[in-house]
Chains A and B, each alone.
Chain A
Amino acid sequence: MNTEERQLTETLHRITPEPPRHVTVEDVALRLANQAGPGRQPRYRRRPYREPRLRRPSSRGWGRAWAPALAAASVFVVAGATAGIAVLASSHHGPASAGSAARDTTSGAPASSSPATTPTPASPAGTLTAIPGGPWGARLVDHLALMQYSLTGNGDSLYAFTAQDLVRIDPATGAIARSAPVSSAVPNAPVVLGSAVWVVSSYAGGRVILDGYDAQTLDHVLSATVPAAGQVSDAAQGVLAGGPDGYLYVAAGDSVAVVNPANGALVRRIQQPSGPASSVAVSPDGRRLYVSTFFQAGQKFQLLTYDLTEGIQVGSSSVSVGAGGNLVATSGGVWGTLGSGTSEWVWFAPGGDLSPASPVIRGAGGGFASLPALAGGAVWIGGTHTLACADAGTGSVLASGAIPADHGTAEYFGSVAYAGGHAYAYYIDNQSQTQGVAALTPPAACIK
């Protein structure tokens, strides 16, 4: 090796960080289990490039006639985007702008001074694009690029995170109705509680910062700083939940903090005897609090159950698997994910006990996440294999639909949400480079 090569070698070893967690034999066993059986991952095959399948309805000659102009425009857009990336990348030392004003993206008003994203034009109502082979009559409502885990519904609105913003989406048109410049510091969908949407805007060290936004206007209404007991978990997945009592429950180090969303005050702290909480969920009747912890050293995933009325721990069970979390509580128990990397199973633990827990469906692979979501009285699980609805009480699958593969490349349906009485999922097709919110028509068995 010459000097330059030795310098590069030294630089690579010095700068490359230590991994936040290690891969274990259990992770690999889980991966093997994922690959086993008839539903194994679609094989990736070489094939010539083809045009994306999903197109807006248009006359045959439209695309050809405008192709040169569109090509030139796309070059311009890419160049502009690249310049934007450079500007953004160079300004990362600046303060967070969680408290900045919301933007009205429908009125045509000028954007605020924050680095605004141009809203993606949505398909007008009535021109939804059918997704070929998609489960449950899936039709693409818009082409928004969202965070996979983030779609959630309330009333007539959908909420999600784009790369930089919290957005409220009108599902009738697929358009972004309002946006606020805040993103989640951990994988956690926005939590709608009362008339506010809550976001974990900071999750590090010894404190958690929650920011509340008006559910309609997305104007910032309140910021709550919650001191953690010790350090917050570095394996956090789903750390904020809303309780039926109207309080926010947030994993805050070796405790779960109960926060009053009206004033941001800490109402109560439930101590964790077994390390930093990585995920929380509250049962629909408000009686049970489920908390998960994960220990990297022993690869031990633990689920704790608390009786909120008595304020005591009533259950504890654990399994030795890769990281888990993303808890969702229902009348019959608690749901969650396991598996690290990006390959996950979704399980159901009746009564909060992991001992009799069973897998509900295989989740996702290839860079996608699969999270359970409680909506419309059922639990919905997507991923890259199956889109399913399951009984919230028993964990049994009520109906399922196969998720297609686009010429060998996995497609993704996940993050199911309900709004305005309709079901929606977030859809990604890497092959045709298409993504967006998809409207679903689930089987009657799923509707409670």
Chain B
Amino acid sequence: MDTLTGVDRPAEPDGFRDFVASRSPALLRSGWLLTGDWASAEDLVQTALAAAWTRWANLQRQDAPELYVRKIMINTFLRWRQRRWNGEIATGRLPELAAYGDVFAQVDARQALLAALDRLPARQRAVVVLRYFADQTETQTAAAMGCSVGAVKSHAAKALARLRDAPGLAELMTGGVAS
């Protein structure tokens, strides 16, 4: 019994802890690219991992835990975009910075990247993250998104076309700021 939550914790599946430890940073970064903030990214990853926990044995047998987790993340993200009020409030005040100089450039680069991704519809954004950040093949991307490979190609082409016009992104792609 977990004292604080007051519930019986389900038995931890074999290998689950190693998977979480090794893959959560990459999954979180994907979540950040999808949602644009760390809290939502954590929410997304935790939701997906909780779903994977309950069917871990099957996923391991199929050697596809990460594909499944990414699939849940994408589906949850798309559902959030459908149902959630994206009531962001614009602010002229940025989060505190720990230092100056290059940090400004990093923040600018991240803002430019997120602003560019914000121009994309949800499914195009998901394709960009899966294909070009998570290094998934078109087939894997299609499997994660529950669509055809042709649809993935179409989304990717449209996304690239939109990103071409995104202010600041071209400079990032050809020049670069250290992360």
Contacts and interface: CB of A to CB of B under 8 A. Distances in A.
Interface of A: 4-5, 7-25, 27-33, 35-37, 44, 46, 81, 84-85, 88-89, 91-93, 96, 115, 145, 162-164, 183, 185, 202-205, 319, 321, 338, 340-343, 345, 347, 354-359, 365-367, 408-409, 430-431, 433, 435
B5 A145 contact: no
A409 B85 CA distance: 10
Contacts of A81: 90
B144 interface: no
A46 B83 CA distance: 8
A238 to B, nearest CB: 16
Interface of B: 2-7, 9-10, 12, 16-17, 20-21, 24-25, 27-29, 32-33, 38-43, 45-47, 49-50, 53-54, 79, 82-85, 87, 89-99, 104, 106, 109-111, 113, 128-129, 131-133, 135, 156, 160, 163-164, 169, 172-174, 176-179
A341 B99 contact: no
28 contacts: A4-B160, A4-B173, A7-B173, A8-B160, A11-B176, A13-B133, A14-B177, A15-B172, A17-B29, A19-B38, A20-B38, A29-B10, A31-B47, A32-B50, A33-B9, A36-B7, A84-B90, A92-B93, A93-B104, A202-B96, A319-B4, A341-B39, A342-B42, A342-B43, A358-B3, A358-B4, A367-B39, A433-B87
A25 B17 contact: yes
A16 B33 contact: yes
B160 A5 contact: yes
Contacts of B49: 23, 28, 31
Contact of B46 (A10, A27, A92, A356): A27
B42 A8 contact: no
A18 B5 contact: no
Contacts of B169: 11
A115 B92 contact: yes
Nearest to B133: A12
A408 B79 CA distance: 13
B9 to A, nearest CB: 5
A23 B46 contact: yes
B68 to A, nearest CB: 14
A37 B8 CA distance: 11
B110 A96 contact: no
A133 B120 CA distance: 37
Contacts, number: 201
Contact of B5 (A30, A91, A365): A30
Given A8-B163, A164-B93, A342-B43, A28 B7 contact: no
Nearest to A203: B96
Nearest to A93: B104
B7 A33 contact: yes
A204 B169 CA distance: 29
Nearest to B111: A89
Contacts of A33: 2, 5, 7, 9
Given A12-B133, A16-B133, A23-B27, A29 B4 contact: no
B98 A204 contact: yes
Nearest to B117: A12
Q: Residue among A19, A321, A365, A408 with the most chain B CB within 10 A?
A: A19
B3 A355 contact: yes
A25 B98 contact: no
List the 3 closest pairs (A to B, CB-CB), nearest first: A341-B42, A88-B92, A163-B89
A242 to B, nearest CB: 22
Contacts of B176: 11, 14
Given A85-B90, A430-B85, A9 B133 contact: yes
Given A32-B50, A359-B5, 16 more contacts: A4-B173, A7-B174, A9-B133, A9-B135, A10-B173, A12-B113, A16-B113, A16-B179, A21-B42, A23-B49, A24-B24, A29-B2, A31-B49, A88-B91, A164-B92, A340-B42
Contacts of B9: 29, 32-33
A164 B49 CA distance: 35
A35 B132 contact: no
Q: Residue among B5, B20, B82, B99 with the most chain A CB within 10 A?
A: B5
A163 B32 contact: no
B90 A163 contact: yes
B90 A32 contact: no
